[in-house]
Structure 1
């Protein structure tokens, strides 16, 4: 085949390649998730499309269209074009998710933020991620997961695992680990939705099933759900498949299971090799999300499903009849507030019947939990199947850097809001506000340090320079906040001391015509009494005070003033101790997170070492076999040579 380009086409391809290089450079310099990042990513795909189109047109012009090699080239051209189209759709989906997440973060940093509006935007973001990201990049089952679901069997260098479809052993290469709750959403979101005990189960076998690849694909796309097979027992032990979206799927074959179709899968029970089962709450969350997605899709197409659609979706509303407290009640309320107008009453009643009374200490704390969980969502790490591990690591670093930057912005806004509230009433403001501001400043400083250390690891000079500039601005803001806080605290202390002195000095006897001490002028009145002793009158005349106050009165006032100053200093010291305690507690929380990260790294290293050990043992075993084969062959060869020399000579 001849795909020779004309001179104009060569110049055009050269210009496009130069433009693509510039676009890639600008995209790498832009912050991941920013408008520039998405714009340059789409421009790069557009340039690749134009180059591919030019080359294919030249190939069509200079080749025989019936040539088999041309047909293969045309097929490859279509595959590459579809791949770029899928990547472009993925970029648009991620951009939409980033816009929603940034909107929630901006709302939370405003003074008018409230839990209801943030919760509604939060569930809308979760549903967008669930419905758009589709199939996750599932890793192979861990050893614990394989052991939990029947383990593996090796026969003739092939590995077989247990199939939940028919209870037989099938080739493990045809199966994949289907995470029920997507790991990309993160453990923080999992903890918020299901409770604290669910945070460490995101990569547990309780949150996964070993399914055939084709079924896992439609399960992750929310076209298939797994529901209880029996409704008379709250402890669910039997599960069954249900097909939610039958369009184009009902008559499709479930390869490699012979003539089985997806219609045969509908209502089919899962067969487990033992008593181990996945968590019901994760399967219910998947079921609820699937129902919301497809009822909303039906509403958009104009099909109003106000009644139970027995003819099209048999028993879907009655599929989950067992009772249990699965999801945080505020999440259920958020789903109802945001999507209730698109859902039938049966589904809303079913969801409300599975609320779990999971509570935070306050609305502000729950709002912080919602915002913190957003930073753990790994947007864009699941669908880029054509990216290598290095690119994934770069994306993870970008996500960490962006989450720290967003956290710093949020903390800066919170400190500024607290300082404004403190400045409005420095004398009458609560003492707890000072401790809150001090703890916020400590947390803000720690976040800046983390962001600074992460920016030093940035390999791209332009992005590193931008990160350093941000760190410099954050440190300037922190210094201004501390100066303002010290000034306001000194003003508060001076105002309190002045008020206390005025209160005490205002009670001195000579400032009032009638002293507060009823015996202060008893000496004066006794001098003019007709019944008083003359000796007493003389004593008073010679030694009494004309102002009606003894020196002991002034001593008592001075002592009371010292006590008041001592109590004020003690109160300030207690506030400082509380601030230090909050800072220590925050440091302990940070150390806890660092230890958890270290633990995860150690687990990863241990898994890697385990795989490497297995590989080394396999190599040693193979080398030992090769050695025996070599010596056996050598002996046979020597015997053969001896036989030739002995019998044929």
Structure 2
């Protein structure tokens, strides 16, 4: 018989009124029965079964709440005990509701992520547990400010990628491009960045909701490398043929700056073409990496025929890993609105899906409005060529000069060192 989390301590059951006890016992039997059924091996059937089980579990928690309220009414619980139990049950209920919403609103991307995990491990429940990480809302009761979210995302990314270690001397963070370095020098860098229109992004990925603060939407990168990714100075591309194990490499999009310093002793030339190294089997989602690739292409394309643009447009297969990543019609519209040009077919053929129906927008927005909103938010994203953008290879600006008066001293960055991976 499967174990059920003890939402209501068993010591309270004999104290319950008969009506409450009967309802609670029936609900508990239903949950036992549901959890005893073997998991379906098909992803779609598994998600249906998982949804049904979560609904039953949510109902069981509601009966536990009713039982706690009855115990309080009959003075078997103090006010403090009552509030403590109700708060804990409410938190558990909110987490289940959040998971149900994630399955309902992000089914396409959860399915994609489960498929990725099942290529390495045929345990479908383990695949689900891996895929759901970060997709449900964070624990209730926390203020959703960006500082808190950033801290939570870093912890999720560290756990997901095994990116934190404590040595005898210091705590170190792992950068997928550079290796181990000081912990505070590494950031969980978004692939789909903050600041883009949330409703439009969800539509582009074929869902009604996307949580960008999930670890699959990140790479662990040194802060200068992360800044370079955010501003289009570098891009991450697949370095594998279809059917091969996927490897990822870093490409500098403007080779005029290869001799610039990323950090003391490391230049962009050392990173150009470098394979990203991972410490475990977890990887960022291909759909997010493809989006970042396309966003970078469109951001740079609007400035004209730069070297990387000319190079990538002559390649037969600019993105070598096929998959149904983005909505085709929306991507094509995005290309026109951001770069002012028509997207060549080889950039999207085999990498997009054609929606068989139009998602009904719960926000009351039409498809064209979402396209415009997303294009506008990308156009407002600074890139490394913008004069006001801090250059990703230094703390000073694209020409390496600091225009500030006064302090020209170095900071702690001058002391940092990397354990480079060859």
Report the TM-score, using the length of structure 1 for normalisation.
0.32
- Larger relative contact order (C-alpha < 8 A, sep ≥ 6)? 2
Point out the structure with the larger strand share.
2
TM-score by length of 2: 0.47
Q: Higher helix fraction: Structure 1 or Structure 2?
A: 1
**Which structure: larger Rg?**
1
